[in-house]
Structure 1
Amino acid sequence: MQTLKWWHVVFSGVPLLLVLVVLLSAEDPAHGGGAVIALALVPASWFAFGRRSFQSRAVGVTFFVVLLVLLATAISFSPNTAILQALAFPFAWTFSRTRREVMVTNVLVAVAVGTGFFLAFGQEATSVPLILLTMGFSFALSMAIGFWISSVEIHSAERGRLLEELTAAQAQLAVLHRDAGATFERERMARELHDTLAQSLTGIVMLVQSARRDADVGDLERVRGRLELLEESARESLVETRTLVAAGVPVAVDGGIVPALRRLAARFERETGVTVEVDADTALPALARDREVVLLRCSQESLANVRKHAHASTVRIALREHDGEVTLTVRDDGVGIARHSGVGFGLPGMRDRLGLVGGSLDVASNASGTVLTMTMPGGATVASVASEAAPAAEPSRQEAS
Structure 2
Amino acid sequence: MLSTRRWDAIVAIVSIVVAMALLTAFRPEGAVRLTVGLASIVLLAVGYVAIGRAAVHPPRASWRFPVFLAVAALAVGVGTGAAPFLAILQTLAYPLAWVVGDSRRRGIGGSIVIAASVFAGAWLGNGGDAAAAVSGLATAVFSLAFSIAIGLWIAYIAEYGQERARLLAELQAAQTQVEALSRDRGAAQERERLARDIHDTLAQTLAGLVIFAERAGRQSRGGQTDAAAATISTVEQVARDALGEARALVARTAAVPSEPVFESAVQRLVERFRAHGPAQISLDAGAVAGRLDRETQVVVLRCLQEALSNAAKHAGAVRVSVRVEADTGGPVTLTVADDGRGFDPAAPAAGFGLDGMRERVALAGGALEVSSRPGRGTTVRVVLPGAAAPVAHDAAGGAA
Smaller-chain TM-score bracket: 0.7 to 0.9
* Pair 1:247–1:96, CA change in 2 (3 A): closer
TM-aligned CA deviation for residue 335 of structure 1: 0.8
Confirm or deny: 8 A CA contact 1:106 1:142 kept in the other structure.
yes
Number of residue pairs aligned between Structure 1 and Structure 2: 381
Alignment of 1:142-181 (within 5 A): 142-181=147-186
- Are the structure 2 counterparts of residues 228 and 161 from structure 1 closer, same or farther at C-alpha, using a change threshold of 3 Å? same
| CA displacement, residues 55-103 of structure 1 (integer Å, 9 cap, x when unaligned) | 6544542442243233222212211110111222122112324322221
Q: Please list the CA deviations of residues 3-25 of structure 1 after superposition, one character each: whole Å capped at 9, or x if unmatched.
A: 77666666666455444444432
Alignment counterpart, residue 333 of structure 2, candidates 327, 338, 341: 327
TM-score, with structure 2 as normaliser? 0.82
Gaps of 5+ in 2: 390-400
1:92-121 CA-partner distances (Å, limit 9, x unpaired): 112324322221111111121122222244
CA 1:355–1:53 in structure 2 vs 1: closer, same or farther (change >3 Å)? closer
1:284 matched to which residue of 2? 289
Find the aligned partners of 2:283 and 2:75 in 1 and give their Cα distance.
106
Asked if the contact 1:291/1:378 (under 8 Å) is kept, the reply is no
AA partner of residue 325 (structure 1): P
CA drift of 1:43 comes to 4.7
Q: Secondary structure at 1:337's aligned position in 2?
A: coil
Task: For 1:348, give the aligned amino acid.
Answer: D
Identify if the C-alpha distance between structure 1 residues 173 and 371 changes in structure 2 by more than 3 Å, giving closer, same or farther.
Answer: same
Match of 2:370 in 1: 363
**Alpha carbons 1:53, 1:61 under 8 Å: kept:** no
Q: Which moved more, 1:27-36 or 1:351-360?
A: 27-36
Which one scores higher on RCO, CA 8 angstroms, separation ≥ 6? Answer: 1
- Picking from 344, 358, 361, the partner of 1:354 is 361
* Residues 318 and 330, structure 1, Cα contact 8 Å, conserved in 2: yes
Helix, strand or coil at the partner of 1:375: strand
Counterpart of 1:393 in structure 2 is none
Aligned 8 A contact 1:2 1:94 in 2: no
Code of the residue aligned with 2:172 in structure 1: it is T
Cα-Cα RMSD:
3.3
- Secondary structure of the residue aligned to 2:324 is strand
- In the alignment, the residues of structure 2 paired with residue 271 and residue 49 of structure 1 have an alpha-carbon distance, to the nearest angstrom, of 93
Q: Which amino acid aligns with 1:132?
A: L
* 1:353 partner letter: R
CA contact (8 A) 2:332 2:387 kept: no
List aligned pairs for 1:2-151, cutoff 5 A: 14-15=14-15, 17-24=17-24, 25-43=27-45, 56-58=61-63, 60-121=65-126, 125=130, 128-151=133-156
Q: Deviations over 1:278-330 (max 9, x none)?
A: 12344633333322222111111111111210111110112234682222110
187-196 or 233-242, larger mean C-alpha shift: 233-242
How far, CA to CA, are the matches of 1:51 and 1:358 in structure 2? Answer: 65
Match of 2:248 in 1: 243
C-alpha distance in 2 between matches for 1:310 and 1:351: 19
Q: Note if contact 1:34-1:77 (Cα within 8 Å) is conserved in structure 2.
A: yes
User: Over residues 18-53 of structure 1, what are the superposed CA-to-partner deviations in whole Å (9 max), with x where a residue is unaligned?
Assistant: 444444322344544443454454456666777777
Query: For residues 173 and 165 of structure 1, what CA distance do their matches in structure 2 show?
Result: 12
Does 2:384 match 1:372? no
Q: TM-score, normalised by structure 1?
A: 0.82
CA distance in 1, matches of 2:295, 2:6: 68
